[in-house]
Structure 1
Amino acid sequence: MIYDSHCHLDLMDNNNMTSIIQSLEKETLGILSVGTTPRAYLKEVKMFSAIKNVHVALGLHPQLIGSGYDDLELFKLLVQQCHYIGEVGLDFSKKYIINKNKQIEVFHKILLYCEKYGNKIISIHSLKADTTVLKILSQLKRNNNNTYILHWFTGSIFQMQIAIDMGCFFSINPKMLKTKSGISLIQKIPPNKILLETDAPFSVKFQNTKQLGDILQNMINNISIIKGIDMKNQLIKNAKTIYIY
């Protein structure tokens, strides 16, 4: 199965989302539907629970810290029962750095919950915050049952190596394949640590499963060119070691 490791299904156009859900089970495609708030998670579970190809993640997006939607108490109540966690992390870009300290506090607590319970797959946002994300991970990561995925990673090669040494995976999206820095990272990430993502509807948009399949296959082709080897079987294997399907 070709797997999309980071997609915001609940933020897509309702007609497109309905069409995708209805046809997804007939395809050899899978999606991790990441969330932005704990309440969104509850809604998504109701919407997607019958679709075996979709896994729903419990999220608390760093851009929403301080917005009134950052319900950490509800997150705490739900986290023990959730295998998939995301989108969580830190965002120190110009618009959101005002909440830097609060973001760090919340992210620290989220990782403590994940480490306490274990058996989690965690998708992490780290825009302009790679150093702090990796520092917190290095301080708290003790549970080997957890898998940490750095979504749309934009750090340096040195930071990438630190993350690799901690066992992190990297989910790659189409925009990363169009930048020199993204290509440089992909060249150096070990093949067994690469996952695919669309980050739809932000990095790319699709209206049906055929378009999703085409996007993911095109990414496989481009990553194979960058790595100099056919990556399809390896990428399928990587996803299969992480996602339950």
Structure 2
Amino acid sequence: MIYDSHCHLDLMDNMTSIVQSLAKEDIGILSVGTTPRAYLKEVELFSGVKNVHVALGLHPQLVGSGYDDWELFELLVQQCHYIGEVGLDFSKDYIATKMQQIKTFEKILLLCEQCGNKIVSIHSLKSAATVLEILNKLRHGKKNTYILHWFTGTPVQMEDAINLGCFFSINPKMLKTKSGINLIHKIPPNRILIETDAPFSGEFKNAKQLKNILQDMIDNISMIKGIDLKKYLIHNEETVFAY
């Protein structure tokens, strides 16, 4: 089974038809959330849909907004295998909450490390250095798997992330920029996952369209790296999503 490793399924206009069509295709979705309350709604919506894994999120862009229900996040985290979207965002629209974001992200990672057995999808826009610094400080052993979603850091930062054991989820927009292609060249095949980040990086109407998007990504990344990515990808996804 091939996975969309980072998708905001609950924000898709055609969410219901996508979920209904999933059973016909051999694909899965990690449906990341933005708030703890959104997680509860998604669990209810996707209950019994074996192709969808729901993640508990607290998006950095919402820190300090009133939607960042920390008490509910803390209550739910122990029962959740998948965590995301979490992380840091130091772009101009969100830099004002930088210190609050850091404090929240550190608390999230501490909880994840205490619990163990978590798959964590991390946002790191204009904040890769700080994300990696916090990961390096708080990560202990190999109890959790950390995925850097839509990574836009430097090649040196990418090497640091590899040394920390991180995976990288690549989306179609990364295949359209010189910096994205340069990073893809350097990411080891055994650390690559693929994502759509829909609806932010593109949209699809049904599971068949999603499958075509994911297959196109596999073909394009294989061409960039000069290897058959699919055999690596299947192994990577079995490692990350075997739950």
TM-score, normalization by structure 2: 0.99
Where do 5+ consecutive residues of structure 2 fail to align? none
Match of 2:202 among 197, 201, 204: 204
What is the percent sequence identity of the aligned residues? 74
Aligned to 2:186: 188
Query: Take 1:158 and 1:212, find their aligned partners in 2: how far apart are those partners?
Result: 32
Alignment of 1:1-245 (within 5 A): 1-13=1-13, 16-244=14-242
Query: Take 1:229 and 1:80, find their aligned partners in 2: how far apart are those partners?
Result: 39
Equivalent residue pairs, number: 243
Query: Take 1:169 and 1:107, find their aligned partners in 2: how far apart are those partners?
Result: 18
Q: What amino acid maps onto 1:210 in structure 2?
A: K
The structural deviation recorded for 1:244 is 2.8
Query: Take 1:166 and 1:148, find their aligned partners in 2: how far apart are those partners?
Result: 9
Question: Does structure 2 retain, via aligned residues, the 8 Å contact 1:62–1:88?
Answer: yes
Question: Does structure 2 retain, via aligned residues, the 8 Å contact 1:111–1:140?
Answer: yes
Deviation >6 Å, runs of 4+: none
CA offsets 1:129-161 (integer angstroms, 9 cap, x no match): 000000000000004120000000000000000
For the aligned residues, what is the CA RMSD? 0.7
Question: Does structure 2 retain, via aligned residues, the 8 Å contact 1:34–1:85?
Answer: yes
Query: Take 1:143 and 1:188, find their aligned partners in 2: how far apart are those partners?
Result: 25
Q: Secondary structure at the match of 1:80?
A: helix
Q: What amino acid maps onto 2:131 in structure 1?
A: V
TM-score, normalization by structure 1: 0.98
Query: Take 1:184 and 1:9, find their aligned partners in 2: how far apart are those partners?
Result: 29
Q: What amino acid maps onto 2:32 in structure 1?
A: V
Query: Take 1:118 and 1:49, find their aligned partners in 2: how far apart are those partners?
Result: 24
Query: Take 1:242 and 1:174, find their aligned partners in 2: how far apart are those partners?
Result: 21
The structural deviation recorded for 1:210 is 1.2
